[in-house]
Amino acid sequence: MITGTLARFRRWARNIKRDVHAVWLAARDPRVPLQVKLLALVIAAYAVSPVDLIPDFIPVLGYLDDLIIVPLGIWLVVRLVPPDIMDEHRGGASRAASRPVSRAAAAVFIGIWIVALVVLVRLWLKS
């Protein structure tokens, strides 16, 4: 029973992640009405933003926006975007998620951030 629930939760989380990307793609699609585009942009930006309406450090309430507001916003945008367009963008999001991840590129970016941090610390210590 726990294994089945865990599998359903993982599938739900993967679908939410895919739909956030699909909503972002739909927000940039010229076939989507302007009001829906604006809502899609707000929802996609909020979903990936580190800033929350209710900070995560507040017990229980901090995660409610991630568990309720984001999925409800995505659901609303998915309902407002024409189904054929949404299916197209879900497919694009799924293909993007299945692309290989470049660990070398990640290492380069991490290295750049470390060098930038070291330079900033040295400049700060000199002043």
Q: What are the pLDDT digits (tens) for 91-117?
A: 998 888 777 777 888 888 899 999 999
For residue 96, give the nearest of 7, 24, 1, 30 by alpha carbon: 24
Residue 82: band (very low, low, confident or very high) from pLDDT cuts 50, 70, 90:
very high
Which residues have a Cβ under 8 Å from the Cβ of 25 and sit 6 or more positions away?
89, 92, 93
User: CA 90 to CA 47: how far, in whole Å?
Assistant: 16
Residue 126: band (very low, low, confident or very high) from pLDDT cuts 50, 70, 90:
confident
User: CA 45 to CA 20: how far, in whole Å?
Assistant: 9
Predicted pLDDT at 35: 94
Is this prediction's pTM over 0.75? no
Residue 10: band (very low, low, confident or very high) from pLDDT cuts 50, 70, 90:
confident
User: CA 41 to CA 27: how far, in whole Å?
Assistant: 6
User: CA 90 to CA 20: how far, in whole Å?
Assistant: 9
User: CA 37 to CA 24: how far, in whole Å?
Assistant: 9
Domain that holds residue 113: 2-126
CB 86 within 8 A of CB 27: no
The count of structural domains within the chain is 1
Written as one letter, the residue type at 105 is A
User: CA 74 to CA 6: how far, in whole Å?
Assistant: 22
3-class DSSP state for residue 22? helix
> Which is higher by pLDDT, 50 or 20?
20
Predicted pLDDT at 1: 62
Predicted pLDDT at 15: 84
